[in-house]
Amino acid sequence: MYDRVMSETQNRRDFLKASALAAGGVALGGARRTVAANDRVTLGYIGTGRMGLGNMRHQLEIDQADIAAVCDVYQPSLDKAVEMLDGKVDAYVDFRRLLDRQDIDAVVVSSPDHWHALHTVLACEAGKDVFVEKPLATSIGEGRRMVDVARRTSRVVQVGTMQRSAEHFQHAIQMVRDGAIGKVSFVRCWNASNEYPEGIGNPADGAPPAGLDWDLWLGPAPERPFNTNRFGVGDRWSTFRFFWDYAGGMLTDWGIHLMDIAIWAMQDEVPNRVTTSGGKYFLSDNRDTPDTLQSTYEFDDWVMTYTNQACNGRGFDGRGYGIHFHGTEGTMFVDRSGFEVMPEYHRDPDGIAVRPKTPALRGRSIGSGNREHHENWLDCVRSREQPICDVEIGHRSSVLPHLGNIAYRTGSMVDWDGVAEKCVGNSKANALIDRKYRKQWRV
């Protein structure tokens, strides 16, 4: 890992910015398996639930790749993927059989969060490039090892924070960097919903449904009885994300999308200190993660907060989610539908309002970024350049929600050393930097 060979006297901030902020343009040499510039890429899919099928649709729209194999531990999900591909695909329950295929150039990992690290590492070791959904992993330690393996094997790894590929987000970020709203000292990110009182419900443990290999679904996670919410597959977004064994709640599910854009705009992804307050106050379901939470991230000269409320649907300015950049000359709001700049009015010594330097401005989204994100990855599979959300960038973005959860679960203030990737003087927090696997699995 290149952190370790840098001079100890080098400024920590300068090093981290230089090593992680630039996206693209860096060639990855020594690939075990390469695809020519005009060749179609042969893909395998690990995880064919709702997210996996969505990723598959984007690939079919792009039509630059051939999907040769799909894999899922739940037969109904696997059947949907086979049907989408008109039966012209090989289907597996065990992902290792897919990775053994020498004809597959790259894999798309859309499995539950607790599988991301193993699927990505083993795919890289098998000589395959990877598109892996966010968050990169369920712990900071796993994420760092994923970066190390990707570099050692010269694999192209794209992380699924697709907002980076949306044109209106890129435009908004450039405006912030160019000083369009002045000096930014505070960034607010939030999600708001009202799931009161039942939330995701409280089903009893029971027998797994037909066609599910529950032990393989658990994989590296602790052995638990089957519970439909822990599995979480249905008409709604999967509820496994609300259990610590498999994910990190709204912080790692949605918070990462918003904070990823914030740190990209601010060109500073390493906080000095993180605190989190909140709890599970009103929802009567069986989730582990809180229904009300606020994390605060202190950087050198700015502060970011992430707020999630699951018992009231009115967010800031009445919006259910988004990002506010608060600058000396204006405020920018941005979400997936577009952005808006609201000028800051100053007054002269006589108290008369002065015309703002920044004009009011709005921009609409022309796309979600999903398709562009997959296209960028395929382009980089051919060119061997780093994608727009390379694994190192995805790792540093994933660190933020993990630190928020660590602060919450330990009830402590976390001082963060971004080079060593350790919590300073906090043994309870450092115990959560990594996670334990069941003995038959390791990465």
Q: Which tokens hold the place of 181? A: 């709203």
pLDDT tier at 367 (50, 70, 90 boundaries)? confident
pLDDT at 89 over 50: yes
**pTM for the predicted model, two decimal places:** 0.91
**H or E element at residue 55:** helix 50-62
Query: How far apart are the C-alpha atoms of 294 and 281, rounded to whole Å?
Result: 14
pLDDT at 395 over 70: yes
Q: Look at residue 9 in the predicted model and tell me its pLDDT.
A: 28
Q: Are 187 and 326 in contact (CB under 8 A)?
A: yes
> Using one digit for the tens of pLDDT, what is the confidence trace for 276-314?
999 999 999 999 999 999 999 999 999 999 999 999 999
Query: How far apart are the C-alpha atoms of 263 and 267, rounded to whole Å?
Result: 6
Query: How far apart are the C-alpha atoms of 137 and 395, rounded to whole Å?
Result: 8
Q: Please state, in angstroms and as integers, the Cα–Cα distance from residue 405 to each residue in 114, 118, 170, 254, 400, following that order.
A: 15, 22, 28, 13, 9
pLDDT tier at 38 (50, 70, 90 boundaries)? low
Burial annotation 137-153 (CB, 10 A radius, 16+ → b, else e): bbbbbbbbbbbbbbbeb
CB atoms within 10 A of CB 176: 24
pLDDT tier at 20 (50, 70, 90 boundaries)? very low
pLDDT at 406 over 90: yes
Q: Please state, in angstroms and as integers, the Cα–Cα distance from residue 182 to each residue in 177, 178, 339, 373, 396, following that order.
A: 9, 9, 16, 30, 26
Query: 2 CB contacts (<8 Å, ≥6 apart)?
Result: 19
> Using one digit for the tens of pLDDT, what is the confidence trace for 186-196?
999 999 999 99
pLDDT at 5 over 60: no
Tell which wins on pLDDT, 39 or 276.
276
3-state secondary structure of 339: strand
Of 63, 66, 70, 71, the C-alpha closest to 105 is 66
pLDDT at 60 over 80: yes
pLDDT tier at 363 (50, 70, 90 boundaries)? confident
> Using one digit for the tens of pLDDT, what is the confidence trace for 427-441?
999 999 999 999 889
CB atoms within 10 A of CB 427: 8
Mean pLDDT of the residues in the chain: 91
> Using one digit for the tens of pLDDT, what is the confidence trace for 118-139?
999 999 999 999 999 999 999 9
